[in-house]
Copies of this chain bind each other. A is one copy, B any other.
Amino acid sequence: MKMIATPQSMQFDTVLPLQSGASLRGYALSFETYGELNADKSNAVLICHALNASHHVAGSYAGQDKSEGWWDNMIGPGKPLDTDKFFVIGVNNLGSCFGSTGPMHINPDTGRVYGADFPVVTVEDWVNAQARLLDALGIQTLAAVMGGSLGGMQALSWALQYPERVRHAVVIASAPNLTAENIAFNEVARRAIVTDPDFHGGHFYAHGTVPKRGLRIARMIGHITYLSDDVMNEKFGRQLIAAGKGGAQDDYLFSTLEAEFQIESYLRYQGDKFAEYFDANTYLLITRALDYFDPARTYGGDLSHALARASCKFLLVSFTTDWRFAPKRSREIVKALLHNRRDVSYAEIDAPHGHDAFLLDDPRYMGVLRSYFDSIKEPA
């Protein structure tokens, strides 16, 4: 039986000071919960999302086929993160385009849509906003906070910003900061959006336009970096579209404009789809939050020093073919935690799918997560 998910929203009327020095006067957070909070409120698990996701983490919406949450393979009754035992919270981050206050909402200071004026938000800001949501839900301590990729950065930051409120941090396919190459890919994607004539300096809503050209390019670049070279070769290789249509394999179209190879039409399709629903300003904000995250920065780059604040137990997971957040980046975190004599488990999963592996069904991966959550289901 499918688990039914019900989106909720919580309005906050107290000012949220942001890392940049700006602040949000008031804001709403969209969230969903699955399972039941136990009597002593000790079984809550917060899920933090990555670039392209939302508070809709698990379950399906009533009457909507194919509306499964983005981590529905991981979270639900009897699943690795078992909602028969845990109370799981999915929350949409500030600046997103899926319900929480973001660039397409009204700026109370001006009465106009924020657009490009939405303040830059950081991983630390998101965690602060998430903590207020927990306050409102009456949850003092999380059994665990978990996320993959940018979500993993939030889980790590929770352990640093609110060490007394987290018993376990599950940090998957993540990194202690972005490399120059990571930032470079984000920057190209941002430039594609910002230089789209339909972007209008971020105030495209007022112009009735959407910078779809830029969003398409951004998404195509992203997609390449989510997949491994191996899985791309396996899925697409040099297959021609004509061949897929029953044409002869050797029928090159000899065109620079037509999609010739299947990988091209796949990327175009992904780009088109994304441009239909994702907000351009949100893309800028979220990639910037990725760029800025760097807990070691105020410690002169010393990650061990930075992570000394964390007191919870950790599970780190990485995937061998993930070149966006390579295993060596997870190992940096593991090493820094061990240097602080923290309790840390680490699984490096031999999976072919690249960064995307953290969203996919891999029996070893799922097995590791199931065991970990099984071991922590009773409060310490």
Contact = CB atoms under 8 A, between A and B. Distances in A.
A180 B237 contact: yes
Contacts of A223: 184
A213 B232 contact: no
Contacts of A360: none
Contacts of A181: 224, 227, 229, 232-233
Given A224-B188, A254-B20, A260-B291, A233 B195 contact: no
B285 A180 contact: no
Contact of A178 (B187, B238, B250, B255): B238
Contacts of A202: 257
B220 A271 contact: no
Interface of A: 19-22, 116, 119-120, 177-181, 183-185, 187-188, 190-192, 194-197, 202, 213, 216-217, 220-221, 223-224, 227, 229, 232-233, 235-238, 249-250, 252, 254-257, 259-261, 263-264, 267-268, 271, 281, 284-285, 287-288, 291-292, 294, 297-298, 323
B187 A250 contact: no
Given A180-B237, A229-B181, A188 B263 contact: no
A185 B291 CA distance: 22
A147 to B, nearest CB: 21
A180 B230 CA distance: 9
A191 B216 contact: yes
B268 A180 contact: no
Nearest to A229: B181
A88 B70 CA distance: 59
Contacts of A254: 19-22, 119-120, 292
Contacts of A298: 250
Main SS at interface, chain A: helix
A236 B180 contact: yes
A232 B232 CA distance: 24
A235 B223 CA distance: 26
* Oligomeric state, in copies: 2
A256 B201 CA distance: 11
A287 B256 CA distance: 9
Contacts of A323: 229
Contacts of A178: 238
Given A116-B257, A220-B188, A254-B19, A195 B179 contact: no
A253 to B, nearest CB: 9
Contacts of A191: 216-217, 220, 268, 271
A281 B291 CA distance: 33
A120 B291 contact: no
Contact of A192 (B177, B197, B217, B285): B217
Contacts of A220: 184, 187-188, 191
Nearest to A201: B257
A292 B252 contact: yes
Contacts of A217: 188, 191-192, 195, 217
A221 B256 contact: no
Given A120-B255, A217-B191, A183 B261 contact: yes
Contact of A261 (B180, B192, B213, B261): B180
